[in-house]
Structure 1
């Protein structure tokens, strides 16, 4: 069976991307998904602009979070959202870790957190069985101005990939792991665009 290389660093953004866009994933109810697909972006209502919205470049972490689209009605539709790389990098540059690390004091972290419209969180990546891996996958939480930018400027295309999620899930259940792995979007290390 094919597997991800074990030499992946603990913290590395891996994604499907090209020269102009990077793909992130979200899972929603039928109502929000249908509206987003019809408009090419999220529209309020039914999308709630005042809430933090989490985007995930990792396909398998999204599958873990949404249970392949079977977890609950609020996450039954898996969306692949292609956003501008400039937007993605703005989010990284304006982000604050969800949890304080040893590099700054708790007070400094609280101040940074209150001023930042973006949360950066690292959670264990998942395998085909959705088991935790040693290396981490990034999740990015957008709030305030970041949500406005995401909805109004960054999103370039939205695709419903629920059928793909269900297909891979069925292949895993059948034990056809090589075929299942071959269907997974092939993510590679994300290298930021060089600034002029």
Structure 2
């Protein structure tokens, strides 16, 4: 069975499409995904690339939301556009994903987080979103937040980001198959075929 590395940052808008599609793609293509959370925001800032669309880029922002909406229609997804953006608690949302990697619930956490963020309008990383996702997964939200803010998890998150940089990753979502990088949800099928 083919395994593809799925590098993502909760906070990336286009990652919504991939996260919500991966379970079906995994089933239909006999492929597994190795989920790899990292800080795309940190890498983008290092490249002097504003990691979200400021007011002076309204045309780009409007296009992004329309494009996501169009693509979501193709996948029978129902996002509420625009979703709250950019995230205030970007790092915490991703540190929880790292904790989930260690404990075996990352995929469910990320899927539920994007569901609430894009389909219910509840900002990822917010107390409300963490509470709802934790309730769905039968986790204690205060315990999850405390452990996600531990030095061990923060160090692991930073290490993941360093590894992403070393691999040449610059955006989310990114898929790596046989050392070949495919950036963007629209490159997912190309990654599978490679």
Task: Give the TM-score normalised by structure 1.
Answer: 0.26
- Which has more helix, going by share of residues? 2
TM-score normalised by L of structure 2: 0.26
More strand by share: 1
